[in-house]
Amino acid sequence: MDQVAALTFVFLAGLVTAIATGVGAIPFFFVSDVSDRWNVALWGVASGIMVSASLFGLVFEGLANGTPLQLGIGMLAGVALVLVAHHVIEGAEVNPKQYEEADFRKLLLILGILTVHSFPEGVAVGVSFADLGLDGGFQLFGFVVPLLAVFMTIAISIHNIPEGLAISIPLRSMDVSNWKLVWWAIFSSLPQPIGAVIAFYFVRIAREFLPFGFGFAAGAMVFLVLTEFIPEALELGKRLPRGGRVELLAGLVAGFAVMVPLAFI
């Protein structure tokens, strides 16, 4: 298989997931605000999708291609990446209630934080394409595409929609226009196609690192859910009955319900 064509195909798959982030801004074409109840539920959906994709996609494939030890080392490396990213941006988190007074520099800071967090998701997409062109997939645009790659691309794309909404809410309070909301949401996920290409290239030239790659992506994504998504949902749900836990749980169940059947097709 032509290497440039394969890299281009993986980049486009990552670009699809980035574009999906822009879908999260679409509600603001029709309404001026999104309720906390819906916001919490959508963060729950995103969390359920990420965890189910990690467990039933990446972890299963990691164990099929290597040992539990290799998978575990990769997962620890993924967690380490998120911890380092948190350390780099420590103290940079801004309360959404303060966004009304945000200037352009603060806007870039907000988007930068979200952009750093999107890179591991691109890695997950890239690793899932490791068997591109090999037996066991199906034909798409002249490529034999692994089923895992389709699963992960769909999972990350669906997950990105609530992230796009989360990005759009504070920008809306700054009177950013609707189409610019879409653009900034997509912009925050542009590291995903870059991460996808880097991860894909690495596991193709060093396939012995494939189980580590699966573990790396799974560890980073699950840790992001535990340290970012769920705390964010609970923070948004403080004013709701029972602290928004009912909406969060409903979202988690919905996320699993969407992705688990796809994992076993």
High-pLDDT (> 70) share of the chain, %:
84
**What does the alpha-carbon distance between residue 30 and residue 22 come to, in Å, rounded to a whole number?**
15
8 Å CB contact between 18 and 160:
yes
Residue type, 67: T
Q: How far is CA 93 from CA 15, 47, 86, 169, in A?
A: 26, 20, 10, 15
Q: What DSSP state is assigned to residue 238?
A: G
| One-letter amino acid of 187 | F
pLDDT classification of 206: cutoffs 50, 70, 90: confident
Give me the pLDDT at residue 102, please.
47
Write the pLDDT tens digit of every residue in 40-91. Answer: 888 888 888 888 888 888 888 889 888 999 999 999 998 988 787 777 665 5
Query: What does the chain come to in residues?
Result: 265
> What residue segments make up the domains of the chain, in order of their start?
3-264
pLDDT mean over 244-262: 87
- pLDDT tens-digit series, residues 126-168: 988 888 876 667 777 777 888 888 888 988 898 888 878 877 8
Alpha-carbon distances, residue 151 vs 38, 64, 97, 190, 258 (angstroms): 25, 17, 36, 20, 11
> Of 38-42, 107-111, 232-236, which gets the smallest average pLDDT?
107-111
Average pLDDT, the chain: 81
